[in-house]
Every structure is written in C-alpha cells, then in structure tokens.
Amino acid sequence: MSDTAPTKSKHFLETIIEEDLASNKHEGRVVTRFPPEPNGYLHVGHARSIWVNFGLAQQYGGVCNLRFDDTNPEKESQEFIDAIQEDVRWLGYEWNGDARYASSYFDKLYEWALHLIREGKAYVCELSAEQASEYRGWATKPGKDSPYRERSVEENLELFEKMRAGGFDEGAASLRAKIDMASPNMNLRDPILYRIRKVEHHQTGDKWCIYPSYDFAHGQEDAIEGVTHSICTLEFQSHRALYDWFVENLPVPARPTQYEMGRLNLNYTVTSKRKLKQLVDENHVAGWDDPRMPTISGMRRRGFTPNSLKSFCEMIPVSAKNNSDVDVAQLEKAIRDDLNEQAPRAMCVMNPLKVTVINIDEADSGLEMKAANHPNKPELGERVIPFSETLYIDKADFNEDNTLSRKKFKRLVSGEYVRLRSAYIIKSEEVIKDDAGEIIELKVSLVPGTVGENVEGVKPRGVIHWVSAENGVKATIRDYDRLFSDPNPDAGEGDFLAHINPNSLKEYEGVVEPALAAAKPEDSFQFEREGYFVADRFDHAADKLVFNKTIGLRDVWSGK
C-alpha cells in the first residue's frame, strides 16, 4: 500500500449518516443543527458540539443550522446571542442561511398545541407545582392521573385560550400532554407543553405570556427545519420517546430522529452555565471572556486557536454510550502543539534584573544580534535583536551561590559563565545590592567572539534569555494558570468556589525585545524559556503592550 496514513475508524454518527445516504433515507440530504440556549457564553463542551454538528455537515456535503433555543426568556439576552454567533464564526464555521430562533416558531407550536387538544391528547392542568410533582410519582412508583385530565376538548380549548390571554397567574395552569402517568419513562408522564411566564421576550416582546417547554419545542423545530440528524447529549436519551411521540402525533412536515452522544467533561474545569455565570456575576473572574474561563471567548483571549480546539475535539472519541471525562492537559497539549508549529519566537524578561556589561566594545562584533523567528521554519525569517551596555535578565536566572550544582541550576551564578540566547557568553563579575540586601544589578563581562561560537576553556552553565535595557519595550505580562486547583471542583457537597486557584493570575511589569512593539492584538509568540503568549485581544495596543500567557512550554500539573 502506498498510502500509509492511518485510517481513523468511523464513529457511530458517521456510520448512521453513511447508511442513510446509501439508502437515500432523506433524499441524500444531511441537515444538522447546533441549538444553544442564549443564556450564557459558549464553553468548551459547546465547541465539541459545534465541531460534531458543523463538522458532520461539512464532511457529508450537508448544512448545519444555528438555532437559538430561546424558550426561557428570563435567562436569555441579546448579548449572549451576539457572543454565540461570534464564537461559531471564530471557530471557522458558517451556518445555513440566517440564524434561526425557536421563538420564530411560536405561532406554529401554538397551533400544534391546539391540534393536540382537539385530538384529546392535551389538557389544561391546574395542579400547583408541588401537587403536580406529588402526582408524578418517581422512577419506581407510578404517578396518578391529574383530576383535570378528563376535561372536554371544548373546556381545554377555552382554558388554553385563557392562558394565552393572560387570564391565569404564573403557575396557576399549564398545558400538559395526555400520555401515560404510569409510564416507566418519567418523561412520558403527561409532560408540560406550555407554561405561563409573564415576561418580555428578547425576540417576541410582549406577544406571548405562555412559552413552550424545551421538550415540546425541540423536535418540532427540527421537523420544521428539515433536520435529518438531530444530535444531542446522552442525558436526553430518555426524552427521545417523547420527541418521537410529538413527531408521530403532530402534522409535522418531516420526521427527524434524535441521536445521543457522550458529553465532554474536563477535569479542573466547570462547564455548567449556571456556575460560569456565578463566576462572572460575583467577580471571581473579569468577565465571560476572562482568559481563565473555559468559554470559547475566554480561550480565544487566552491565545487558543480554532485549529487547536478542533484538533482537541478530534482526539476525543465520539461515543454513543459514555460521556468523555477528559484531562484538561489534553486541551493544553493541543494548543501547545499548535503554537509550537506556528508561533514566532521572541524574548521577554518578566522579572527584570539590570545587567551592566563592563567591557562592551562596539568594534568587537557590532551591537546587533540576529535570531531566527522559528527554529525549523526558515520561511518565518529572522529578526534583529539590539545588544547594549545595559541589559535585563530575569531575576530567577541569577543566583549568587556558585556551589549550586551545574546540572540543577543551568543559569548564571557568581563568577561563572552563561550564554545569552543568540548573543554572547557573559561572566558574572560583581553583584550590587541595595541597603536591604536585595540584588539590584549585576556587572558582567562578555567574552568576545562568542556570538554563535564557543571558546576554549569557557564553559557556560546554560542559555538564558535577555532584553536590551536601552531598546527593550515595557509590557504587562498576565501569567495565567488553571482557574481551579482541584481536579473535580464540581464534586461533592462543597462549594466549587473554594477550589479557585489563588495563583491563577499573576501580573508582571516585564520588558520585551523591540520587535514585539509591532505585535497586533491576538498575535501569538513563544517567549523563549517562558511559554506561549498572546497579545491581548482588547487591552493590547502599540503604546501599551499587554501579553497573556496561553500555556507553559511543558505540563507542570501532571506531576502534582
């Protein structure tokens, strides 16, 4: 065989779609949809769902709809609608036609509710919420019929109209399907179709004071849109019977099928929208797009790329049976691998220590160093790094103690040599301290002729990064780390907020090499020896450089 690329085995959704295409089940069409509720920003789990739905449509020449499942107006807003569209586009996907809204089908759904009433398959129930839950029973105890269950069609039509016209208080009445109060599937125990909510809707204004339930809306919306493969997560498996019941009992224009797949769970991460909202509302983070948030906009601001998120999604098996519990280190690896390939290299000193070169000689080799922008991508070119009499190195790269082992401390110590990346080997000559005993400056000598060369008898301990103090540019460096320090912040009885990592953000006033003054928002770099950083999407400007740490060069959590 000439083709040695490993062929990935097909996952169950690919198999189903291919069988449907082969049998011409939907006249060769593949229509999927991504149906977020606009009650928060999208998170990494949604990225997975987007990748599945838009990805399958692309793969099989189909289309994917974006549909806002806006049946709960209290919690929804235009801000979330806008953010969701921006995130989907940023990931590189385009939806079929205009964005759709469950609310634009409210007239149709209302008509279908009337249809069920006329068929004797729905009734207006006036049990209170507590009574209704008592009548419902539980998994092993059959429910009891509501006393309102046998109302006549006429009475139900009249009462449902009264609900619609605002004649009941919230909670005083609901429309329920008449299915089976003894069904082993709780979802079939006369589920609610419509409830009263006297609130404005961001799309329909005050037109409605009754709103359809998620279950009554979802399958019918799929049918209206001609969705062929309605993919959701496993927790909706037991809703499928109800989904099918509606599709069978209503004059819907098409008969979509729901397929369930495992949900993505990440350790060290919360993805419940309620908890993410709490983090924002209580100012534990700076907003939905705080770079520590697992939201798509947060990850974007952190420096993740669409490709890294897609390749992360590709690593995780699509399962019909199990949720995927994934180590966040896999997500971090995906971005590290992507940036290792793409990001130009640069130098940034986060904690500057002044260094004076006592024997600098302009004639020696000139004051401009050159460095490749990428170690194995010559096409990315090289840049000039000015060298000067005063430099900065990182405080952490110097130690007075020259008895430290050469293996453990491969940096600069008193009286010894170290190489400055892409420049000279230097020797520490003198340490200058302030009155408090703090090291404030080093005097060093450079070894002439050592740019790109070694000299007999001069053995540097290692290579450190540096920036010219005369030409370097100040920059704010936001050193981000995982937001939670516990692998399961959500587990147990305790408050997930107790697991917030107190060191998830450290800010430094650092210095970067002058070439970085030209960085544009969202440009990524590898700061040598420090990690991958991105110019902040919003706060970075030509006169105020701000870089966010995306991820370190290696995983420092796995050994903890």
The residues assigned a catalytic role are: 37, 263, 273
Which entry of Mg ion, ligand ATP, none binds 445, CB below 5 to 8 A by partner kind? none
Q: Judge contact between 221 and 105, C-beta under 8 A.
A: yes
To the nearest whole angstrom, how small is the minimum distance from the Cβ of residue 266 to ligand ATP? Answer: 8
433: number of CA atoms within 13 Å, CB side?
7
Which entry of Mg ion, ligand ATP, none binds 49, CB below 5 to 8 A by partner kind? ligand ATP
The burial class, CB within 10 Å (0-12 / 13-18 / 19+), for 549 is buried
Residue 34 vs 508, nearer CB to Mg ion = 34
To the nearest whole angstrom, how small is the minimum distance from the Cβ of residue 243 to Mg ion? Answer: 14
Which entry of ligand ATP, Mg ion, none binds 46, CB below 5 to 8 A by partner kind? ligand ATP
Q: Cα(343)–Cα(201) distance, rounded to whole angstroms?
A: 45
To the nearest whole angstrom, how small is the minimum distance from the Cβ of residue 320 to ligand ATP? Answer: 13
Q: Cα(13)–Cα(55) distance, rounded to whole angstroms?
A: 11
Q: Whose CB is nearest to ligand ATP?
A: 45
To the nearest whole angstrom, how small is the minimum distance from the Cβ of residue 560 to ligand ATP? Answer: 25
Q: Cα(140)–Cα(163) distance, rounded to whole angstroms?
A: 33
Q: Cα(223)–Cα(31) distance, rounded to whole angstroms?
A: 11
Distance of CA 467 to the CA centre of its chain: 34
Which entry of Mg ion, ligand ATP, none binds 45, CB below 5 to 8 A by partner kind? ligand ATP
Residue 264 vs 535, nearer CB to ligand ATP = 264
Per-residue binder mask for Mg ion (CB under 5 A), 30-69, x = binder: -------x--------------------------------
Q: Which residues pair with 13 in a beta bridge?
A: none
Task: State residue 115 phi and psi, 5-degree precision.
Answer: -60, -45
Q: Judge contact between 478 and 507, C-beta under 8 A.
A: yes
Distance of CA 481 to the CA centre of its chain: 15
Residue 310 vs 540, nearer CB to ligand ATP = 310
Q: Cα(35)–Cα(53) distance, rounded to whole angstroms?
A: 10
Which entry of Mg ion, ligand ATP, none binds 263, CB below 5 to 8 A by partner kind? ligand ATP
Residue 26 vs 46, nearer CB to ligand ATP = 46
Q: Judge contact between 425 and 447, C-beta under 8 A.
A: yes
Dihedral angle over CA of 232, 235, 237, 241, nearest 10: -100
Positions touching ligand ATP (CB under 6 A) are 35-37, 45-46, 48-49, 232-233, 263-264, 271-273
- Edge-first strand listing for the sheet containing 417-420: 463-464, 417-420, 425-433, 439-447, 352-357, 390-394, 467-468
DSSP 6: P
β-pairing verdict for 352-357 and 439-447: parallel
To the nearest whole angstrom, how small is the minimum distance from the Cβ of residue 66 to Mg ion? Answer: 15
Residue 217 vs 505, nearer CB to ligand ATP = 217
To the nearest whole angstrom, how small is the minimum distance from the Cβ of residue 438 to Mg ion? Answer: 55
To the nearest whole angstrom, how small is the minimum distance from the Cβ of residue 37 to Mg ion? Answer: 5
Residue 36 vs 510, nearer CB to Mg ion = 36
To the nearest whole angstrom, how small is the minimum distance from the Cβ of residue 186 to ligand ATP? Answer: 18
Residue 48 vs 540, nearer CB to ligand ATP = 48
- Edge-first strand listing for the sheet containing 192-196: 122-125, 174-177, 192-196, 210-212
To the nearest whole angstrom, how small is the minimum distance from the Cβ of residue 52 to ligand ATP? Answer: 8
173: number of CA atoms within 13 Å, CB side?
22
Q: Cα(292)–Cα(43) distance, rounded to whole angstroms?
A: 12
Distance of CA 330 to the CA centre of its chain: 13
Q: Cα(20)–Cα(549) distance, rounded to whole angstroms?
A: 46
The number of residues in the chain equals: 560
Residue 52 vs 353, nearer CB to ligand ATP = 52
User: Which of 337, 351, 398 lies closest to 506, judged by CA?
Assistant: 351
Per-residue tokens: 28: 């060769």
Residue 43 vs 419, nearer CB to ligand ATP = 43
Task: List contacts with Mg ion (CB under 5 A).
Answer: 37
